[in-house]
Amino acid sequence: MKIALAQLNYHIGNFEKNTSKIIDQIEKAKKDRVDLIVFSELSVCGYPPLDLLENKSFIEQCEIAVEEILEHCTNIAVIIGSPTLNSHQKGKRLYNSALFLTDGEVKYIQNKTLLPTYDIFDEYRYFEPNDKFNIVEYKGRKIAITICEDLWDFQPIENTFAKNQLYNVTPMDKLIEHKPDLVINIAASPFSYTKIWGRKNVFIRNAKKYKLPVFSVNQTGAQTELIFDGGSLVVNPDGTIADEMKLFDEDYKIYDLDEIVNCKKKKTIDEDPNVIAKIHDALVLGVRDYFKKMHFTNATLGLSGGIDSAVSLVIAAQALGPENLRVLLLPSEFSSDHSITDAEILAKNLGVRFDIVNIQQVVDSFNDSLKTVFKGLQEGVTEENIQARARGTILMALSNKFGHILLNTSNKSEAAVGYGTLYGDMNGGLSVLGDVYKVDVYKLARYINRDSEIIPENTIVKPPSAELRPEQKDSDSLPDYDILDKILFEYIELQKTLEEIVEGGWDKSLVERIIKLVDSNEYKRYQAPPILRISSKAFGAGRRMPLVAKYH
């Protein structure tokens, strides 16, 4: 049996485009004399469709798309993902389903059993879990079809409090009773740099446990903040990896089942991947797809001469093309000459159009207007924030006038502790680095400069500063980032308690201070733009905290 895996980039709700892509791959597979072609989870409508699933017309369009695809399912079998209706009176209205199509008919439907409801996932909100287990026979082979989480019953969870065994049933233990010859898994698994090997190990472990080959198809592309890296896998029955498909790109490959069953195909896998390179590629894809799927073309940002705006600009230029960017340099009386020079050099290195707009006159007019109201009060953070908000207003004016989407350049370290100004430097339609800790921003800069100096060296080596007052440095207000980021990672990603973090050797008063900053600035993050997710616990949809909570 020849099996093709089609790893595609779908667009949620774009049924015409998704259907066209699927049909094109089916026709290609037929020319290649493929017996079975497999697509990813909810491929018909795109993943995750969220509350669109509650619209009757959305489900009807899914059904129409399936019927259109069926017309091409002759002399070939096809597995696609789509929501299907639950015909029973009780339970949720829908199933998350894998449809086995051949001879112009839906021959078999396998519904998803394990519905993730954690982090960014909320599938139990929409779908009824499956409780029936069977296999499909095709061309003398028994196929066990699973959907994403159905092979993830054991979770390699980083949070020490959470349960590894999330579910009461293991679908493969039920399916193995039917003595299948292979396992096919259709998935929509987002990228996380903390789980690069974790996902592979899930399929390796299942192949070894059941002594069966595993074919897993993941989608690629970005859907707002979620970035899907592809990396579809074929695993031999002995747990060795037969092949891995492209990362962060569409791909199509054909496999001979007999070769996989007999472990004749093996691939050498890099066990020490360049994590920063993958974060870089994920962010480029995230920016590119957000603009493409929203039908945006042009972008802007405030180029300060600092490391965050520099890395953001390079990523945007790679994603959109430098000709589609126009940025502003917005110096004030506190901006250093080298910051302006560094920003100019970077823009010229990339071929990005830039304008210099001095904000001091605007800031002075604000301060002059408020002098009566603020009479007798000492200058401080308020006056610093006026500068940030003046910059935000000017950037939004350029955005409005020319239709350039403003990219937010704040990093995760700053967002975590509230080191940012609402309606100022927190403005933007999309946050490029909001899930990247400051230490990793520097690593990204080094990666960008791996072949030649694109980002000026001075931008990388100078002490970070918001330049809102004379001689200001980030370290005036925050611990050094190499310390701050380690504690933040333990508190946010690993969800450790104060006591657990202190047990690791950190000063208790320092940890208390950082935790208090994180907890007390939730209201700011609530108003932040969508953040491209590259970790296992990004701010936004995957981390839901009450704004008015008193708990610390």
Question: Does 62 participate in catalysis according to the annotation?
Answer: no
From CA 97, how far away is CA 74, in angstroms rounded?
Answer: 21
Q: Torsions phi, psi of 496, nearest 5?
A: -80, 155
Q: Is 148 one of the annotated active-site residues of the chain? A: yes
Which strand ranges, in their side-by-side order, compose the sheet holding 94-102? 105-111, 94-102, 77-85, 36-38, 2-7, 251-256
CA 339 vs. chain centroid, Å, equals 31
Residue with tokens 């100022």: 424
Please list the residues that pair with 142 across neighbouring strands. 137
Whether 510 contacts 479, CB under 8 Å = yes
- Out of 45, 62, 73, 148, the active site residue is 148
Cβ-based neighbour number of residue 16 at 10 Å: 11
Catalytic residue among 21, 112, 438, 443: 112
Of the candidates 222, 350, 353, the one whose C-alpha atom is nearest the C-alpha of residue 292 is 222
Q: Is 45 a catalytic residue?
A: no
* Alpha carbon distances (Å) from 377 to 370, 371, 383: 11, 9, 11
Query: How many other CB atoms are there within 10 angstroms of residue 349's CB atom?
Result: 17
Taking CA atoms, 176 is separated from 148, 155, 180, in Å, by 17, 20, 6
Structure-token match 């208790």, residue found: 508
Catalytic pick from 41, 123, 225, 244?
41
For the CA atoms of 331, 336, 341, 344, the dihedral, rounded to the nearest 10 degrees, stands at: -30
Neighbouring C-alpha atoms within 13 Å toward the C-beta of 8: 30
E strand or H helix that includes residue 517: helix 508-520
Structural tokens at position 168: 């009461």
Task: Determine contact, residues 254/34, Cβ cutoff 8 Å.
Answer: yes
Token pair for 165: 């065994």
Distant-in-sequence contacts of 167-170, Cβ < 8 A, 24+ apart: 167/114, 169/113, 169/114
In 123-245, where do the E strands start and end?
A: 136-138, 141-147, 182-187, 214-218, 220-223, 226-229, 233-235, 241-244
Maximum C-alpha span of the chain:
87
3-state helix/strand/coil string of 88-137: CCCCCCEEEEEEEEECCEEEEEEECCCCCCCCCCCHHHCECCCCCCCCEE
Task: Give the span between the Cα atoms of 409 and 100, in whole angstroms.
Answer: 45
Report DSSP state, residue 396: H
φ, ψ (nearest 5 deg) of residue 460: -80, -40
Q: Which residues are catalytic?
A: 41, 112, 148
